[in-house]
Amino acid sequence: MGRETVLITGVSRGIGKAMALRAAREGYEVVGLSRSRPDGFDGHHYAADLGDSAAKEVLNEIAATHRPTRLIANAGIVTVAGIDDVSDDDFEATLRVNLQSVVWTVQALAPVMRQEGFGRVVTLGSRAALGKAGRIAYTSSKAAITGLTRTLALELAPSGITVNCLAPGPIDTEMFATDQPPGSPAREALIARVPLHRMGTPDEIAHAAMHFLSEGAGYTTGQTLHVCGGLSVGGMSA
Residue 117 beta carbon to ligand NAP: minimum distance, rounded to whole angstroms: 29
User: Which residues are near ligand NAP by CB under 6 A?
Assistant: 10-16, 34-36, 49-51, 74-77, 97, 124, 126, 168, 170-171, 173-176
Closest CA to 55 of 103, 2, 89, 1: 103
How far is it, in rounded angstroms, from Cα 213 to Cα 119?
9
Which CB, 161 or 206, lies closer to ligand NAP? 206
21: phi then psi, degrees, rounded to nearest 5: -65, -40
Beta strands in 23-118 (DSSP E): 29-34, 44-47, 70-73
Task: Give every CB contact of residue 142 below 8 A, 6+ residues apart in sequence.
Answer: 98, 124, 125, 126, 128, 129, 167
Which CB, 16 or 43, lies closer to ligand NAP? 16
Residue 189 beta carbon to ligand NAP: minimum distance, rounded to whole angstroms: 15
Which CB, 119 or 229, lies closer to ligand NAP? 229
How far is it, in rounded angstroms, from Cα 5 to Cα 215?
13
Q: What angle do CA 102, 45, 30 make, to 5 degrees?
A: 75
The set of catalytic residues is 138
Under 8 Å between Cβ of 5 and 69: yes
Residue 224 beta carbon to ligand NAP: minimum distance, rounded to whole angstroms: 12
Residue 92 beta carbon to ligand NAP: minimum distance, rounded to whole angstroms: 13
Which CB, 51 or 119, lies closer to ligand NAP? 51
How far is it, in rounded angstroms, from Cα 2 to Cα 112?
9
